[in-house]
Amino acid sequence: MFPFTEDDELMEQASANPEVRSADRKRDIPPARPLWQVLVIFVLVFALAQFAWREARGGAVERLVVHTATVTPAVAAVNFITPQADARAEGARIKAAGGGLNILNGCEGTEVMFLLIAAFVAVRMRWRARAAGLALGLGLVFVLNQGRILALFYAFRSNRELFDLLHTTILPVVLVALVALYFYAFLHGRRPRLA
């Protein structure tokens, strides 16, 4: 199943229901794109974002995203939860007594952000809805990724096997699934209820 806007169902019903046609005109709902267009746009936007991120490696953008927006808040959270860890940020590293983490390519959550951005660009919706959905969604990705980093930090310090399982399998799948659920809920939560 691939996400679509509430417009798909409404457009079908609009031809038979004048109330729906009137509601659509008032809301300025754009017509839905065919699935193949949604898929092509999604893949192109995601690939372009990944390419741009790869090109930004080693520069100011990477430092802003990894060092400032990812590592620094994670260190603050670690020190809040366990002050005795005395964690500190050193570039892309969380250093602490008893073990820390290196935030490497992929650990900063950009891939999940790019998936969300590509999904919102691929489907048709009003620009205000798109902006609100993206803002909330990117905030969600940030919070989920910080939670993932904290889980990995504490797992690494206590159980290396659990760390490997969480790092390579469980947490990436959970992150993508939760963001996909958010996107689905956002699209379908905006669907008007028809009598």
The total number of structural domains that make up the chain: 1
* Position 9 in a domain: no
Structure-token pair, residue 177:
């699934």
Residue-wise pLDDT tens digits, 56-111: 888 999 899 999 999 999 999 999 999 999 999 999 999 998 888 999 877 899 99
* Position 182 in a domain: yes
* Position 24 in a domain: no
pTM for the predicted model, two decimal places: 0.79
Structure-token pair, residue 13:
């019903």
Residue-wise pLDDT tens digits, 4-31: 444 445 445 554 555 554 554 555 667 7
By C-alpha distance, which of 154, 110, 118 is closest to 41? Answer: 118
* Position 10 in a domain: no
* Position 52 in a domain: yes
* Position 4 in a domain: no
* Position 91 in a domain: yes
* Position 14 in a domain: no
